[in-house]
């Protein structure tokens, strides 16, 4: 599949089989995220792979939708502000930008592998920090469940603004 078709086909998945993701597939997904660009190549990210029943249960308690419980794995994208590039002129810190790029690489790589994902940021942060044993320095950007889409699951089609509405040529 070419990249345009891959990006066009990717939709959020909210129903999964319990089939575990093979370690080599998971490693390829994580490797793609690792290769993401970051400001000054500082790579301020950490990827927490949640697969054990105990930690999955703890993470489930931090998000109010029951469908999350169907995913056999969850990847949490975190980073430390102190590890990211800071623009000298105004103090802008690139952490969120760098983590968003890595998350996007991760999600598109999963799509390429036939693995469903759903970018989640609407979680209970104190609950998630506690579930993962994070320090005060660790910032949680987002997480995604990973799994094979459930049989019969139909994702909601993408609705996007037309290019003419969002692009300006000068």
Task: Convert the pLDDT of each residue in 120-132 to its tens digit.
Answer: 999 999 999 999 9
pLDDT band, very low/low/confident/very high, at 156 (cuts 50, 70, 90): confident
| Least confident span in 53-62, 121-130, 148-157 | 148-157
- State the greatest distance between any 2 C-alpha atoms of the chain, in Å, as a whole number: 54
Place of tokens 């969002």: 166
Which CATH code, of 3.40.50.720, 3.40.50.10490, 3.10.310.30, 3.40.109.10, is assigned to 21-150?
3.40.109.10
Q: Do 62 and 123 contact (CB within 8 A), yes or no? A: yes
pLDDT recorded at residue 53: 97
Higher model confidence: residue 145 or residue 159? 145
d(CA 114, CA 84): 32
Domain spans in the chain, listed from the N-terminal domain onward: 21-150
pTM, entire model: 0.95
Residues 20-29 as b/e (b if ≥16 CB within 10 A, e otherwise) read: ebeeebbeeb
Specify which residues 118 forms β-bridges with: none
Give the pLDDT score at 160: 92
Q: Supply 98's token pair.
A: 């760098």
The model's pLDDT over 35-56, given as tens digits with 9 standing for 90+, comes to: 999 999 999 999 999 999 999 9
Task: Share the mean pLDDT of the chain.
Answer: 96
Query: For residue 85, what pLDDT is reported?
Result: 98
């Amino acid at each position: 599949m070419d990249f345009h078709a891959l990006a066009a086909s990717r939709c959020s998945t909210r129903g999964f089989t319990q089939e575990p993701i093979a370690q080599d597939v998971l490693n390829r997904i994580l490797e793609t995220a690792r290769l993401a660009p970051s400001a000054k190549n500082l790579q301020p990210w950490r990827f927490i792979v949640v697969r054990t029943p105990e930690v999955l249960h703890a993470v489930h308690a931090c998000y109010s939708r029951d469908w999350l419980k169907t995913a056999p794995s969850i990847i949490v994208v975190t980073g430390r502000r102190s590890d990211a590039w800071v623009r000298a002129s105004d103090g802008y810190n690139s952490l969120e930008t760098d983590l968003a790029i890595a998350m996007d690489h991760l999600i598109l790589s999963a799509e390429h592998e036939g693995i469903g994902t759903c970018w989640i940021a609407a979680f209970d942060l104190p609950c998630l920090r506690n579930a993962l044993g994070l320090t005060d320095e660790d910032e949680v950007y987002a997480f995604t469940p990973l799994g094979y889409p459930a049989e019969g699951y139909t994702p909601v089609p993408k609705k996007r603004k037309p290019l003419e509405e969002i692009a300006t040529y000068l």
